[in-house]
A and B are shown apart, each in its own frame.
Chain A
Amino acid sequence: MIEVDKKTFEEEVLKAEGLVVVDFWSPKCEPCKELAPQVAELAEKYQDKAKFCMLDTASNRRLAISQKVLGLPTIGFYKDGEKVAELTKDVAVEDIEAKLNELA
């Protein structure tokens, strides 16, 4: 998992080739914290297929809103810098894995 912020988001996500999964979270979001270790496991499992990033929305609010993320947890899927899919609220790790397989 790569931690990204407003300085690195463009380089790591928008200019990246291939599939990038972004876990939008914040320290106050309990469901996000539930999900985080499971996403990390996916990152390990699919390291050849996608790049996994985490973005703390609390300190990167404008960036999150620019990505139309206004609720947590949200998982964004980017392909060659374009947002191609998103999962938000009640996100189960199984859903992320299914979406990943669909896009990879």
Chain B
Amino acid sequence: MSETYDIIVVGGGPAGLAAGIYGSRSRLKTVILQKGTPGGQAATTAELENYPGFPRGTTGPELMKAMREHAESFGTEILKEEAIDLDLDGEIKVVQTKSGKEYKGKIVILAPGAAPRTLNIKGEKELRGKGVSYCATCDADFFEELDVVVVGNGDAAIEEAIYLTKFAETVTIIVIHDQGTLDCNKVSAEKAFANPKIKWVWNSVLEEIKGDGIVESVLIKNIKTNEIAELETNGVFFFVGTVPKTDFLKGKALLNEQGYILTNERMETSLPGVYAAGDARDKYLRQVITAAGDGAVAAFAAEKYLAEEESFTEQVLKADKPVLVAFWAPQVEESIAIIAELEKIADKLGDAVKLVKIDTYRNERVAKRYQIEKMPSVLFFSRGKAAAKISGSFNEETILSHLKALNQPE
């Protein structure tokens, strides 16, 4: 277990698989740790009508199988492992899995995804798998010639309700909004309104699910009149949003109040070398395409990170002589002048010293790590350690005296 991966991806949905494709294609040793078969929520989505490149639509399982094969074709390893604990603070990150194994990697991309939200309505938990379901593709065929209720009115709810009409006799959708108002996209709404098997209950919420061993009826409450009506049904499907599967990350990565992982637009989390992608990330639109997009960005950013880190280690930390690291920025004129000055000094000193220039506009990370706030700044490195820092303007004298101090035996 001593081998170290370049990238460990936690989660094998569209975000994780896209990260795998981009990572492996950059010749980075990439592994995806995934609890079961890859595919995430997309693998349990019946119809995908809006994934680009499939004008006649495709199915979730088909698309995810293709993404998996795509990642594997570039050499991504996909292991059936569930990450349960992570140590993300060090330079080498460690992921522990339920099977008791340990994986080491330079980069971790967190793509754990999300799971359907439960409402904790009376009877919901007790009758789960007894007519209460969160997965139409899993359970739809039980309800052939039977009646089902769908709770929710977003894309997933309406699209899955349409799918359910292929099996069930009637599909009654309970919508909290006024008549005709749905949160889903227009195309799906039009399709649903035109579907004779779909019935609507407006201004209403589900109050209770009743049944002895299996679902027999539901109580529906009209929120305008507070009237409660009982409706006989054989099944209840919930599509009321999702919750991020980030419990295992509490106290490890920065989460928002709802448990979503916070990142910047490069998918960087608060921890160096740790990225997040997909539905578990705090973001605007959660779809297969945006998950895959996140995965690509995360892997690309990770590749740049590794390259920068490697070059800094080689050129600065492992150098056999004192190193002057000059931090500059193209927009700070003074810093450009200083670079020219330092080049002259370094030339004069010849082999005794090495000059490394860091454009902080491109590489913020190293500057941040050494708390460089002002441009220009110069750090003096000796034997892999930052020994002195000067910020702002300086003259040759200052540089030379600092170097002299560095060369004193410790």
A interface residue numbers (CB < 8 A to B): 26, 28-35, 57-58, 61, 64-65, 68-74, 88-89, 94
* Cβ A70 vs Cβ B43 within 8 A: no
Among residues 125 to 156 in chain B, which have CB atoms less than 8 Å away from a CB atom of chain A? 128-135, 137-142, 144
* Cβ A74 vs Cβ B129 within 8 A: yes
B interface residue numbers (CB < 8 A to A): 35-37, 39, 43-44, 61, 98, 128-135, 137-142, 144, 213-215, 234-235
CA distance in complex: A58, B234 (Å): 17
Residues of B within 8 A of A72 (CB): 129, 135, 138-139
* Cβ B215 vs Cβ A70 within 8 A: yes
* Cβ B61 vs Cβ A71 within 8 A: no
CA distance in complex: A33, B43 (Å): 11
Q: A30-B39, A30-B61, A89-B129 are in contact. Are A61 and B135 (CB under 8 A)?
A: no
Interface-centre pick from A28, A31, A58, A88 (highest chain B CB count, 10 A): A28
State the Cβ distance, B114 to closest chain A Cβ, in Å: 14
CA distance in complex: A88, B313 (Å): 52
Residues of B within 8 A of A69 (CB): 129
State the Cβ distance, B125 to closest chain A Cβ, in Å: 10
Residues of A within 8 A of B235 (CB): 70
Q: A26-B141, A28-B138 are in contact. Are A70 and B37 (CB under 8 A)?
A: no
Residues of A within 8 A of B36 (CB): 31, 34-35
Interface-centre pick from B129, B131, B214 (highest chain A CB count, 10 A): B129
* Cβ B44 vs Cβ A71 within 8 A: no
CA distance in complex: A34, B132 (Å): 21
Residues of B within 8 A of A88 (CB): 128-130
Of all chain A residues, the one with the shortest Cβ separation from B60 is: A30
* Cβ B128 vs Cβ A30 within 8 A: no
* Cβ A33 vs Cβ B37 within 8 A: yes
Residues of B within 8 A of A35 (CB): 36
Q: A30-B44, A34-B36, A89-B129 are in contact. Are A68 and B214 (CB under 8 A)?
A: yes
Knowing that A30-B37, A65-B214, A71-B142 touch, tell me 7 more A-B residue pairs with CB under 8 angstroms.
Answer: A26-B138, A29-B137, A31-B36, A31-B44, A31-B138, A64-B142, A70-B133
Chosen A-B contacts, 13 in total, with CB atoms closer than 8 Å, are: A26-B138, A28-B137, A28-B138, A31-B135, A33-B37, A34-B35, A70-B234, A70-B235, A71-B130, A71-B142, A88-B128, A88-B129, A88-B130
Residues of A within 8 A of B140 (CB): 28
* Cβ B138 vs Cβ A61 within 8 A: no
Residue of A57, A61, A71, A94 touching B131 (CB-CB under 8 A) = A71
Residues of A within 8 A of B135 (CB): 29, 31, 72
Residues of B within 8 A of A70 (CB): 129-131, 133, 139, 142, 214-215, 234-235
Residues of B within 8 A of A89 (CB): 128-129, 134
* Cβ A61 vs Cβ B141 within 8 A: yes
CA distance in complex: A96, B129 (Å): 16
Residues of B within 8 A of A30 (CB): 37, 39, 43-44, 61, 137-138
| 3 tightest Cβ-Cβ pairs between the two chains A and B | A88-B129, A34-B36, A71-B129
Q: A30-B39, A30-B43, A65-B142 are in contact. Are A71 and B137 (CB under 8 A)?
A: no
State the Cβ distance, A12 to closest chain B Cβ, in Å: 22
* Cβ A29 vs Cβ B138 within 8 A: yes
CA distance in complex: A65, B98 (Å): 34
State the Cβ distance, B59 to closest chain A Cβ, in Å: 10
CA distance in complex: A57, B167 (Å): 14
Residues of B within 8 A of A28 (CB): 137-138, 140-141
Residues of A within 8 A of B139 (CB): 29, 70-72
CA distance in complex: A29, B135 (Å): 9
* Cβ B133 vs Cβ A71 within 8 A: yes
* Cβ A57 vs Cβ B142 within 8 A: yes
Residues of A within 8 A of B39 (CB): 30
